[in-house]
């Protein structure tokens, strides 16, 4: 008698464990019912009714049959879920592309102006060195030139421009 009672208790424990697992499956399948297309509504409803039937005290053969039916229906209805692939140039990423383009334009403009200023600084440095050499070799003439520039800078610049635009004298051919 004791062995029979122990076997019955162990069977009850196994059945209770199966019922607990079936309830978990019911929760999962119920969650899938919300995300699956409406075409599978009847199939999912029959699976849920099978699980509810198993929740009641049933014999071991009924549980086995119900689980096999459940497995068959799940295998028949298993379908790969379609995923949506978004291209990296979709509407959501356009703002990032505009920011990237604006940063590129800003960096390009800054680099261009920096290079232009470096070239102009080199020209002014070269002119200053040339003028320093002229001052060293011709101090009196450079002093007179400074005084003339301070007195009449516009007139002196006009004369300098006209002298720079004169054609160079032709060299005699030998």
Q: Which of 19, 53, 77 is the last residue before a domain boundary?
A: 77
Is 148 a member of any domain?
yes
Same domain, 20 and 70: yes
In this structure, what DSSP letter does residue 88 have? T
Range of the domain at 149: 119-166
Residue 25: band (very low, low, confident or very high) from pLDDT cuts 50, 70, 90: confident
Cα separations in angstroms, 130 against 5, 64, 119, 121, 133: 116, 104, 17, 14, 5
Q: What is the pLDDT of residues 126-139, one digit of tens each?
A: 999 998 999 999 99
pLDDT of residue 3: 82
Q: Is residue 84 part of a domain?
A: no
Residues 6 or more apart whose CB falls under 8 angstroms from that of 131 comprise 142
Give CA separation, 29 vs 33, 74, 82, 101, in Å.
Answer: 6, 9, 18, 48
Is 114 part of a structural domain of the chain? no
Q: pLDDT tens, 139-150?
A: 999 999 889 889
The tally of domains found in the chain comes to 2
Higher pLDDT, 76 or 150: 150
Question: Could you report the per-residue pLDDT of 1-23, keeping only the tens digit for each?
Answer: 788 788 888 888 888 888 888 77
Low-confidence winner among 23-32, 102-111, 160-169 (lowest mean pLDDT)? 23-32
CA 97 to chain centre: 9
Residues 65 and 124 in one domain: no
Q: Look at residues 77, 111, 135 and tell me which one is the last residue of a structural domain.
A: 77
User: What are the C-alpha distances in Å from 25 to residues 29, 44, 55, 59, 144?
Assistant: 6, 12, 12, 19, 104
The reply to whether 4 falls in a domain is no
Please check whether residue 93 lies inside any domain of the structure: no
pTM of the model: 0.36
Residue 41, pLDDT score: 66
């Amino acid at each position: 008698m004791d062995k029979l009672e122990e076997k019955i208790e162990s069977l009850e424990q196994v059945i209770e464990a199966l019922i607990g697992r079936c309830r978990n499956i019911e929760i999962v399948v119920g969650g899938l019912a919300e995300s699956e297309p409406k075409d599978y509504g009847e199939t999912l409803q029959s699976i849920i009714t099978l699980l509810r039937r198993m929740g009641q005290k049933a014999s071991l053969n009924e549980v086995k049959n119900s689980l096999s039916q459940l497995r068959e229906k799940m295998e028949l209805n298993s379908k790969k879920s379609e995923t949506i692939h978004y291209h990296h140039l979709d509407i959501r990423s356009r703002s990032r592309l505009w920011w990237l383009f604006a940063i590129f334009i800003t960096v390009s403009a800054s680099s261009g102006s920096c290079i232009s200023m470096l070239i102009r600084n080199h020209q002014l440095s070269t002119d200053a060195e040339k003028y320093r050499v002229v001052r060293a070799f011709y101090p009196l003439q450079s002093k007179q030139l400074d005084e003339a520039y301070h007195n009449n800078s516009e007139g002196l610049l006009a004369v300098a421009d006209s002298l720079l635009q004169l054609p160079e004298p032709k060299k005699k051919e030998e």
